[in-house]
Structure 1
Amino acid sequence: MASQARRGGVSLPERRSSNNEQNSIIARVSQSPIVVRGRQAASDAGFVAKKLLKSTGKAAWIAGTTFLVLVVPLIIEMDREQQMNDLELQQASILGSSPPK
């Protein structure tokens, strides 16, 4: 009776052979040309995506800094000029003269 309770640690020969069959099937499938080409294609796609993301980030940095250096001061100056025109119009209407054209 005590020897029957300890049987859990012993593996049976049938289980070994079926496990080997599964391993050999998995090995054959994973080494098939289709799977190898699929892995290579996935690896190549990942490499291209990484390069594209890196170059896109560089381009975004260049565009962003160019916008800050060149366009933002232009926008600020145009806003100031518009405020000055509005102020001149307001002063002209208060003084009663005809607005400048």
Structure 2
Amino acid sequence: MIYRQHHFTLRFLTPAFLGDAEQSGRWRTPPIKAQLRQWWRVAYAADKNFNVDVEGMRREEGLLFGNAWLSHREGNREVTDHRKGLVRLRLSRWDAGTLKSWKDL
């Protein structure tokens, strides 16, 4: 499989929790990937006119983002189809925020 590499600049327009276990702000991939996954679900549902087969959506989500829950039957036993996701993230740097106040609030 050939992977394609894309570069994006990420900017939050609303507050986002990016903290670690000590409640300190950290630039980490898990919360970013979780947000991406959540928005993928919204886009998926919109593409299906919000008439979603949840099992089908979870299967497609698992194939794209990775999973540990998909399975199939082989004879009398259930075999887990766990796999790594196709989406890989690498964050390069954290620039401290410069927003001091929000206009019109």
Higher helix share: 1
Greater RCO, CA 8 A, separation 6+: 2
Question: TM-score normalized by structure 1?
Answer: 0.24
Higher strand share: 2
